[in-house]
Amino acid sequence: METIETQFNSVAQQYDKQRRKLIPCFQDFYKIAVENINLTSSSPKILDLGAGTGLLSEFVLQKYPNAQITLVDLSEKMLEVAKNRFETNTSIHIIRQDFTTYTSTQPFDAVVSSLAIHHLEDSDKIKLYNSIFSYLKEEGTFINADQVCGEDDYFSKFYDTRWRYQIENSGLTADEINASYERIKLDKRSPILAQLKWLKDAGFKHVDCLYKYYDFAVLYAKK
């Protein structure tokens, strides 16, 4: 089986275009994630983990044009798209690295992530949430727009059936659909309630799920 890196390298150039069809709730999913990054600074420092092509960071910049954003991702091809996207913005710092091994000594106003953390085993999610807590300034915010599994197998299968029906009627080609089915074989999704507990255990004061559409969810944690 291919690795996550090779699968995302192979789809990098088409990824953003496909994402609007692969995420049936695309508009609300990103809108709710970004509108809840409420920061007092007009030039906040933000960390984007598993940043991929930089799509989420682009939406963040629409809200905070003077933000200083650090993007971390392992896929070279995905980051090439991000570099092209932000080539004239000197406040964007791009790092090619496994985001689970990334460390930072500078505090961030916010940490964001989209469609990345669900690739981690539960134990690695827990470690990452603890790391994210340590990266944030006091009252800093973590927003994770990601895919989750159901609270039991019934709902996990329910979500999967619904998603497959939607993308098979989305206008994607058969090759694009099959490639997406291959990618989800690498998923290690976790239920929302467990992740909220892990965030609480990491030390976050306020945690909740702000939005949920079947298996797409926006989790919020405030330090």
Q: pLDDT by residue (tens digit) across 95-141?
A: 999 999 999 988 999 999 999 999 999 999 999 999 999 999 999 99
* 69 contact partners, CB below 8 Å, separation of at least 6: 45, 46, 47, 48, 57, 60, 61, 91, 92, 93
Range of the domain at 14: 4-222
CATH (domain of 205):
3.40.50.150
Confidence (pLDDT) at 11: 47
Confidence (pLDDT) at 19: 87
* 54 contact partners, CB below 8 Å, separation of at least 6: 48, 71, 81, 82, 85, 86, 92
Number of structural domains (the chain) is 1
CB 87 within 8 A of CB 112: no
Confidence (pLDDT) at 16: 79
Residues in the chain where the model's pLDDT stays below 70: 1-15
Confidence (pLDDT) at 3: 57
Confidence (pLDDT) at 47: 98
Confidence (pLDDT) at 5: 47
